[in-house]
Structure 1
Amino acid sequence: MVISIRRSRPDEGDKLIAIWCRSVDATHDFLSKAYRKELEEMVRAFLPEAPLWVAANTQDQPIAFMLLTGEHMDA
């Protein structure tokens, strides 16, 4: 599989949120359902407009993302 790294695009918000949800659900089973829902609401407000770097598959579909501030990975 060839993966490319590129900037996120404004129309990818729903796909990026779905990636976030799958990631959190797979790794944060200690979160209460109420807190998980609260986090998702905050992420839905923030993520689509954030300056993200996206890992995209050969069909240019996002499969992962990260948020960088300088050389620091924030998310």
Structure 2
Amino acid sequence: MPDITNRDHLSSELEAINIRLRQLDAEKQKLLAHKQELLKQQNLPPPTPSMTPEQKIAIFAGLFKGRADIYAIRWE
């Protein structure tokens, strides 16, 4: 009799593994679909308010602005 009990146990364990694998496959498909949606959203240009060229230049100049209190003595 122990052989039949062992077979039943192995059978039920294998079935549980198969069920879990199917669940994981379903979850993987959902995650891949969600990933594709996020990648599509990432490729969209970010929404930006329309700015005038003067405003854009002011932002750019502000990023690279030097110190106004220092002047070059000579140029080599």
**TM-score normalized with structure 2 length:** 0.24
**TM-score normalized with structure 1 length:** 0.24
Say which structure is richer in helix: 2
Larger radius of gyration: 2
Higher relative contact order (CA 8 A, sep 6+): 1
